[in-house]
Structure 1
Amino acid sequence: MYPQDKLAKNQVPYESQIEEVQKAVNKFQKDNDGILPIKTKDQSTPIYEKYPIDFKKMIPNYLSDAPGNSYENGGIFQYVLIDVENKPKVKIFDLRIAEKVREIHMRIDAQGYPPFKDQVSKNVYTINYKKIGYKEEPYAISPYTNNNLPFVITTKGEIYVDYSSDLYQALKNNKEHVKQGEDIRSILTKNSQFVPAYSLPYTVDEKNEPIFLTK
C-alpha cells in the first residue's frame, strides 16, 4: 500500500508546496543580493526549462526538504523559475513529457534520420511515427486542459509539444489584447502553476488564432 500511496502523492501539483517554495526563493534572493537558487543551464536552453530550482542551495536554511512531488524527492515535477529578471515566479512541469520526448528522440536516432510528415509551419513538421516503429501516435497530456497534445519536429530534428489547442482555448477565454509577432505563451502561465514545457514560441495570425512564431 505504501509505495502506491507515496506515488499518488508525488503526482499531485499541490499549490501549498509551490507557495512554500516561492516564499523560500523570495527569502533566498533577498538574503543573497538578488542571486537566485537555480542550476546553471546552457544559454540556448528553452526559456521554460532554463531556470530549474536547485533545492540543495535552500536546504536546510530556507526549506527543510525538497517538495514531495519534486523530481529531487521522487516526484514527477520539475520546479522552475520564470520572469527571473523582474519578479521570479515558481512554476512546475511534468517530467513525463521529457521522458516521452527522449523516447521519440531515441527511436529517431536508431533510424538515423528524422521522419518528417506534413509541414505545419516554417521549419516545423508533424511526425511520421510508423517510420520509427510506433503503432499508435504518442502524445503529451496538457496540464491546462487535460487534452492529448501532439508532438512536432523541427528541421533540426528537435521534438516539441504542440500547445496550439491550449493556446486557442486560452485566447478564446482571454480578454487581454495580444499583438501579432509577440510570443503569447505567457497567457498559459498567467493563471496556472504549469509552464508549457518543450514548446516552441507562438504568436497570433490576423484572426487572433495561434500560429508558430517563426524567425
Structure 2
Amino acid sequence: MVRVKQAVVLCLIVLLAAGCVRTEEFNRQVEKDLPQDIQRVQTALDEYMKHTPVLPIKEAPAGVHLYQKYVVDFSKMQSVIDSPPATSFGKGGHYIYVIVNPGKEPEVRVMDLRLIEKVRDLQSRVDAYRREQADVPKDKKEGPNLYSLDFKALGEEPWTIPSPYSSRMDLPILVDEKGKVYLDYRKDVMQKLEQAEEKPPESKDLRRLLYKDSIFVPVFSPPIRLEDGDPVFRADR
C-alpha cells in the first residue's frame, strides 16, 4: 500500500513538473509574440479609425495616470480584430493594451500588469501608514512635491521594480505630499537624451522619448522636462 501511495505521489510530481515546464514554455512564447501582437492591434486600430473618430477605449476612472488612461476596449473592435491577443490581460496575459498620442496619430503600446500590481500593493501600504501615522513616509526631496519613499518608516526593506526599458536598471520609487506613489524614469530618459542627435526643447514632456521606440509606456511617471541638460520633474503635473 505504501509503495502504491509513493508511486501515485511520484506520478503527481512528474505531471506537475511537466505542467510547469509547459506553462513556462507557453509564457516565454507569449512574451516572444508580444511585438507581433502589438503590431496586429495597431493594424486593427488604423482600420477602425478609418470609419470613426472615436477611440475604442474603456472609460477611465478619475485621477488615473496619463498612460493608464486610454485602455483599449477590444469589445469595440470586433469588426476589425477577431479576438484580443493571447498576451492581453483579457486572455490571461500580463499586458494591458493602451493608446498613446490619442489626439494625433494613435499608437498602440502596453503596460505590464505585474508592475502595476506591485505599485498598487505598495500604494496600499503607504495608505495604511498614512492612516496610522497621519503622515507620509517620505525621505529625500527629488523634485517639486516629490520625495524618495522612506521604506524604513514603513518597516520594510527597499523594494526593487525593474525598468521596462533596461534590464540592468531598477526604478526608484517616489511619493508626493499626499502619499501618492510614483516611479522615477529619469535615468532611462537620460539614456535616451544621450542617444539623441538633437536635444528636445525644455517645454517638451520627455516621457514620450521612452515609448517612442519601445512597446512600453512609463506608467506611474510624473511629467519630465529638460532643464540645463538634465531631466527633471515638472511642477505642473
CA distance in structure 1 between the aligned counterparts of 2:119 and 2:191, rounded to whole angstroms:
24
Is the 1:12–1:69 contact (alpha carbons within 8 Å) kept by the matching residues of 2? Answer: no
CA distance in structure 2 between the aligned counterparts of 1:26 and 1:15, rounded to whole angstroms:
16
What is the CA distance between 1:88 and its match in structure 2? 0.3
- Correspondence for 1:138 among 144, 154, 159: 159
Aligned amino acid, residue 141 of structure 1: P
Secondary structure (helix, strand or coil) at the match of 1:198 reads coil
CA distance in structure 1 between the aligned counterparts of 2:53 and 2:213, rounded to whole angstroms:
25
Question: 1:7 maps to which residue?
Answer: 27
What is the CA distance between 1:214 and its match in structure 2? 1.1
- Correspondence for 2:48 among 16, 23, 28: 28
CA distance in structure 2 between the aligned counterparts of 1:128 and 1:193, rounded to whole angstroms:
31
CA distance in structure 1 between the aligned counterparts of 2:56 and 2:22, rounded to whole angstroms:
32
- Correspondence for 1:103 among 121, 127, 131: 121
Structure 1 gap segments, 5+ residues each: none
CA distance in structure 1 between the aligned counterparts of 2:103 and 2:33, rounded to whole angstroms:
25
Question: 1:40 maps to which residue?
Answer: 59
Question: 1:213 maps to which residue?
Answer: 234
Q: CA RMSD in A?
A: 1.6
CA distance in structure 2 between the aligned counterparts of 1:105 and 1:204, rounded to whole angstroms:
28
State how 1:96-175 maps to structure 2 within 5 Å.
96-111=114-129, 112=131, 113-135=135-157, 137-146=158-167, 147-175=169-197
More helix by share: 2
Which structure would you say has the larger Rg? 2
What is the CA distance between 1:7 and its match in structure 2? 2.8
Question: 2:12 maps to which residue?
Answer: none
Q: How many residues align?
A: 211
Aligned amino acid, residue 46 of structure 2: N
What is the CA distance between 1:118 and its match in structure 2? 1.0
Structure 2 gap segments, 5+ residues each: 1-20
Classify 1:199/1:13 alpha carbon distance in 2 versus 1 (closer, same or farther; 3 Å). farther
Structure 1 segments of 4+ aligned residues over 6 angstroms from their partners: none
Q: TM-score, normalised by structure 2?
A: 0.83
- Correspondence for 2:107 among 89, 92, 109: 89
Higher mean C-alpha deviation, range 18-27 or range 141-150: 141-150
State how 1:50-69 maps to structure 2 within 5 Å.
50-59=69-78, 61-69=79-87
**How many percent of aligned residue pairs carry the same amino acid?**
31
What is the CA distance between 1:126 and its match in structure 2? 0.4
CA distance in structure 1 between the aligned counterparts of 2:191 and 2:33, rounded to whole angstroms:
22
What is the CA distance between 1:43 and its match in structure 2? 5.5
What is the CA distance between 1:192 and its match in structure 2? 1.1
CA distance in structure 2 between the aligned counterparts of 1:102 and 1:154, rounded to whole angstroms:
15
Q: TM-score, normalised by structure 1?
A: 0.91
